[in-house]
Structure 1
Amino acid sequence: MATNKMHVRKNDMVMITTGKDRGKTGKVQRVFPEKGRLIVENLNVVKRHTRPRAGQGEGGIVEKEAAIQAANVMLVCPGCAKPSRTGKRLLDDGSKARFCKKCNEIVDK
């Protein structure tokens, strides 16, 4: 099975463009390219009711981050600090890097 390419990576700052958390920014914790989803730190929080188990201790209501569609987030450019689309560019040393389409600055370090 081929892996899908994602426009965001782990530790990128992103802004959510749709849903209840629209306009909020956060850091990407985890990426699931095969599903096209990602988890953003402290955003899209859901409540999960858990049962008491022998190994886990007592049950109750646990809050955790849920995955969000990658199409519903935009990368926040570190150069211009605005959410923007990205493109790929071939650098002089032969490697590829993402760049901001607003300020034309390289996003990858």
Structure 2
Amino acid sequence: MAAKKANKKPVRYRMHVKKGDTVQVIAGSDKAKVGEVLAVFPKTSQVIVKGVNLKTKHLKPRQEGESGQIITKEAPIHSCKVMLYSTKQNVASRICYTYTEDGRKVRMLKKTGEIID
């Protein structure tokens, strides 16, 4: 007799990047490109970065007399392929978490000491 599988909720991964962060791609065909994070998907651990992993989509005309279109848009990439980027010093770095004087937890770049949040 087969064991009954429990209904599991999807795993939400803890992401090191947030929407609006500037990141650099460190692996893949778009390596060394720098862009802004447009969307974050914690369930699949993926991010959409502006100008990275561009895909073309061909759209059929919907109405009579309308012409078709070719749309270029960004596709998601895995979050392990991006690293936070310092625009002040033009360097990519890992992050660490630290506390400010007022007790607030913030993200900090390890190489530069720059506070992100």
SS where residue 80 of structure 2 aligns? helix
Indicate how the Cα distance of structure 1 residues 96 and 78 shifts in structure 2: closer, same or farther if over 3 A, else same: farther
Give the counterpart letter for 1:3 in structure 2: R
Q: How many residues are treated as equivalent by the alignment?
A: 106
- The alpha-carbon deviation at position 79 of structure 1 amounts to 4.5
Equivalent of residue 7 in structure 1, options 12, 16, 19: 16
Give the counterpart letter for 1:95 in structure 2: R
Q: Greater CA radius of gyration, 1 or 2?
A: 2
Aligned to 1:76: 85
Aligned to 2:59: 50
- The alpha-carbon deviation at position 19 of structure 1 amounts to 1.3
Alignment of structure 1 residues 76-95 onto 2, 5 Å: 76-95=85-104
Deviations 1:10-63 (A, max 9, x none): 111111111111111011111111111111112210111222224xx5433211
Partners of 1:10 and 1:31 within 8 A in 2:
yes
**1:38 paired to 2:47:** yes
- The alpha-carbon deviation at position 78 of structure 1 amounts to 4.2
Aligned to 1:25: 34
SS where residue 42 of structure 1 aligns? coil
Partners of 2:24 and 2:84 within 8 A in 1:
yes
Identity in percent: 38
Residue ranges of structure 1 left out of the alignment (5+ in a row): none
If the length of structure 1 is used for normalisation, what is the TM-score? Answer: 0.85
